[in-house]
Amino acid sequence: MARKKYHEESDNHDRWLVSYADFITLLFAFFVVMYAISSLNEGKYRVLSNSLTGAFGRALVVHSANSEVEPTIKLDPVRLIKPKNLEPLRKEREQMTGMARDILSVLEPLVREGKVRVSQTSRGVTIEINASVLFAQGEAKLNVDSYQALKAIASVLKSDTHAIQVEGHTDNLPIKNSSFPSNWELSAVRASTVVRLFTENGVDENRMTAIGQGPKLPVGSNDTVEGRARNRRVTVTILAILPEAAIDVPLANTEKKTNTNSANN
């Protein structure tokens, strides 16, 4: 019986085409993925670029061309400010500035003498009144001459709706008598006295808070007579509803020295 002849199979020189086709397919997929990533990063780059620009100007909102998400540029460290918030911010800033200028107008003589300072900050409008304008040494009863100034402030505040914080401040020289065992009681009663006068002149008492700060927040050096005189003061702050609405701007140059004696508080 004749044996079958086996023929050697010839080498298939075209097998490399299969591997090559697989490689090309993978390479194509790789470039598709890279293109998609590069497009997304481009959109992120535009958002980043606008955020850096907006951080030094007004709030911006950028629509990314490659994303369905609408990124919001974050300017405020506490909460996001979207365009719909900008108009209320602008209106409140204008309202607070107008109120500050009205107070400056009614207290102009005291401002010129350096006994009253008015400033507008991100917290609101602050009226700093030297204690010598309001009270006698170591007392919490208002001077007769102080009524006119405080009534003028009340006339501006009573038609407004913002919260008001009244703070009493003293120097660090100790006081101890039958009425006030320490500067804490003296500062608290002085603040309450101003609040009571505002209430009697039409300001809603529910808007106001009286705080005694004692000597803990000095604005001048307690080592000098002038510094202690500056530290004895009452501050009235009209609190902004939207604190980021206001810009820290001094509204008057009131750095004149006041002619006060060196008496304590």
pLDDT at 265: 64
pLDDT at 248: 44
Q: What is the CATH number of domain 86-250?
A: 3.30.1330.60
Which one is predicted more confidently, 146 or 76?
146
CA distances from 186 to 35, 47, 72, 216 (A): 72, 55, 49, 13
214: left (phi over 0), alpha (psi -120 to 50) or beta: left
Lowest mean pLDDT among 8-22, 100-114, 190-204: 8-22
pLDDT at 4: 56
Other CB atoms within 10 Å distance of the CB of residue 182: 14
Other CB atoms within 10 Å distance of the CB of residue 212: 21
CA distance 61 to 164: 34
Contacts for 85 with CB less than 8 Å, ≥ 6 apart: 59, 242
Tell me the two tokens of residue 134. 């309001």
Q: Is the pLDDT of residue 36 over 60?
A: yes
Locate all alpha helices (DSSP H) within 55-182, ordered by sequence: 83-106, 108-112, 131-134, 146-157
Mean pLDDT, range 117-123, rounded to an integer = 91
Mean pLDDT, range 214-225, rounded to an integer = 95
Beta bridge partners of 169: 214, 233
pLDDT at 33: 72
Beta bridge partners of 70: none
pLDDT at 5: 55
CA distance 102 to 250: 15
According to the per-residue pLDDT averaged within each range, which of 35-49, 77-91, 120-134 is highest?
Answer: 120-134
Mean pLDDT, range 179-197, rounded to an integer = 96
Q: What pLDDT band is residue 155 in, cutting at 50, 70 and 90?
A: very high
CA distance 83 to 34: 34
CA distance 260 to 169: 16
Lowest mean pLDDT among 103-112, 228-237, 248-257: 248-257
Q: Are 206 and 52 in contact (CB under 8 A)?
A: no
Residue spans of the domains in the chain: they are 14-81, 86-250
Tell me the two tokens of residue 90. 């602008």
The pLDDT tens digits for 50-90 are 655 555 444 444 444 444 444 333 344 444 444 455 788 88
Q: Are 93 and 247 in contact (CB under 8 A)?
A: yes
Mean of per-residue pLDDT scores for the chain: 78
Burial class (CB in 10 A: 0-12, 13-18, 19+), 73: buried
Q: What pLDDT band is residue 167 in, cutting at 50, 70 and 90?
A: very high
Which one is predicted more confidently, 36 or 136?
136
* Dihedral in degrees, nearest 10, Cα atoms 107, 92, 161, 103: 0
Residue 12, classed as helix, strand or coil, is coil
Q: What pLDDT band is residue 175 in, cutting at 50, 70 and 90?
A: very high
Which one is predicted more confidently, 254 or 240?
240
